[in-house]
Structure 1
């Protein structure tokens, strides 16, 4: 390996030779290998991270190529799992980095195993249920994580250090139910890279142990409308928070607070039921579904996309016809409802 590979990074005083050695020794886990995950992974691999684990349940589609920089048309044509395609491209970029690829849908057990092996976790998921589980596992094992999300031209980032900063539960109180996703309102590539610029910069600060330089604020922006906000979060931390408070119970690791899935007997159908009963606005959802055919009555919304038909009920239940694969059903569900 050329001694000059990281020369410009080592010339940056906050990293230097000592920081580069720390980067070489650390293990970062990225949950999700879509737009945010692909961008963060490439930056960390180019920076010389010692060990990178990439976790994703999805495969590459042609619509991903507009913003997911690690993938090719061939990956989309072959429906290559994103974790596999990402590792292949990243090893071409830096063969000196140890990369572990995991094709799976993470739940509590998988998250606990991942966190126990990690120095830092980056969020690149597509749904808040997983994020809230990440948040609770982070607090349980005292491993920092960096939240990130984007849709349209809007993005968010926030760094969570267990025992020091407010956690995501402090910020949100409860999991947001429903809302816009990239599959319903779109996304532009610059918004993705703005989020990961914040995420990876914060990650490097943690990796080189420069904790005093952490932002300590919630960053939000809307690139198209020229808005940028930095909100101080110190006073948001709650002593009674069930995820990070004095008597933490880690509620989102309980099966009670997790989405229920079941394959319906004798049918190629998976039912997905949210942990909390909703009052889903079916008309609003229909307006966001630009691709595919929809039909609406007072009780349900039917949506046909490809070989799958999805039927949404007002209480938040969804029937996904055309598959018995729970992982595939969850993938389709989160693409629409986030």
Structure 2
């Protein structure tokens, strides 16, 4: 469709040459919720050649208020977010390449995903994953664009691995415990503003306009009508474990064995079994039958009740226990169910 991008190529900083660069680029988007769906639609419409969408979750009714690309039917069926997003994005542009990753992002997986990637877009909801993205970014010299929004406010900054401060340098300044959408709520305009700024920074980088990228962190409150830009150069930690002279990339240090975590802002315990132990959906279905409770099987997971909690077990063995925020109880439930 030769005229498809005509209005975009008329924009001189992009032009025909920048458009060709977009069409040859690959973007990794970590998170496929509010920010991830908005960013992915913008980049698909802009002509980016390939997207890699990574997310561990599925569509729920509370997502529909702000997470575009999803429908009521997706929420009813509990469709994995990456699957629902891919389906809608292919309707928008059939020639886009989309790779989906329905999994929890850890160090080894992220290192694998960034091969041949031009930029990483942060659409996550927690500091731990952002620190992981930050470590991979500095180790591979692939830039990433930080974006966060809650309530009516948003924050955006492009981290380009050079002499600038990295995300880990900022942690003494950023709050250790921050509000989440589940505790403070969120309005869709805050999402769209954040995603728009992230998408603009990505288009600058991908089209060869690196010098136009912002050099100050932007914080904007659409409800209070306030905005702040702050430089971060002076926050650089000379002994930083990620961007210092002797980097160790601590978030990339692999852990063995089964891991347990409470998902950010949610009463949900996540269990990731060790790699040597793979639970098949057929094995999980047998457990569900023995419990005698109703269960639902989809191509991607089994949903069942156990000890009064709604449990989702994905086909790679990852387990979500809803209505629980005690890791020890989650560990006990896991062993009671699967030994």
Q: Find the counterpart in structure 2 of residue 310 from structure 1.
A: 324
- How big is the shift at 1:306? 6.0
Q: What is residue 24 of structure 2 aligned with on the other side?
A: 25
Give the Å deviation of 1:165: 2.4
* Alpha-carbon distance, 1:154 to partner: 1.2
Q: Which runs of 5+ in 2 are unaligned?
A: 262-267, 272-307, 312-321
Task: Trace 1:70-81 onto structure 2 (pairs within 5 A).
Answer: 70-81=69-80
Instruction: Give, in whole Å, the separation in 2 of the partners of 1:21 and 1:31.
Output: 24
Task: Please list every run of 5 or more consecutive structure 1 residues that lacks an aligned counterpart in the other structure.
Answer: 263-268, 273-303, 326-338
How far apart, CA to CA, are the structure 1 residues paired with 2:175 and 2:223? 24
TM-score when normalising by structure 1:
0.78
Question: What does residue 124 of structure 1 align with?
Answer: 123
Aligned equivalent of 2:193: 194
Describe the superposition over 1:181-210 as per-residue Cα deviations: whole angstroms up to 9, x where unpaired.
Answer: 111221000000010111000000100121
What does 1:91-102 align with in structure 2 at a 5 Å threshold?
91-102=90-101
User: May I ask how many residue pairs the two structures share in their alignment?
Assistant: 284
Identify if the C-alpha distance between structure 1 residues 181 and 322 changes in structure 2 by more than 3 Å, giving closer, same or farther: farther
Query: Counterparts of 2:166 and 2:6 in 1: how far apart (Å)?
Result: 36
Residue 223 in structure 1 maps to residue 222 in structure 2: yes
The alpha-carbon distance between structure 1 residues 253 and 175, as it changes in their structure 2 partners (threshold 3 A), is farther
Change (3 A) 1:318 1:148: farther
Do the aligned residues in 1 keep the contact of 2:269 with 2:325 (CA within 8 Å)?
Answer: no
The answer for the alignment partner of 2:167 in structure 1 is 168
Q: How does 1:35-50 map to 2 (within 5 A)?
A: 35-50=34-49
Q: Distance in 2 between matches of 1:208 and 1:305?
A: 48
Q: CA deviation at 1:140?
A: 0.7
User: CA separation in 2, counterparts of 1:186 and 1:105?
Assistant: 24
Of residues 308, 315, 324, the one that matches 2:334 is 324
Residue in 1 aligned with 2:62?
Answer: 63
How far apart, in 1, do the equivalents of 2:116 and 2:28 lie?
9
- Determine the C-alpha separation between the residues in 1 that align with 2:175 and 2:254: 18
CA contact (8 A) 1:32 1:123 kept: yes
- What's 1:13 paired with? 12
CA deviation profile, 1:159-178 (whole Å, cap 9, x unmatched) = 00012422101111488543
Cα distance, 1:242 vs structure 2: 1.1
Measured on the aligned residues, the alpha-carbon RMSD in Å equals: 2.7
Matched position secondary structure for 2:334: coil
Is the 2:108–2:254 Cα contact (8 Å) retained in structure 1?
no
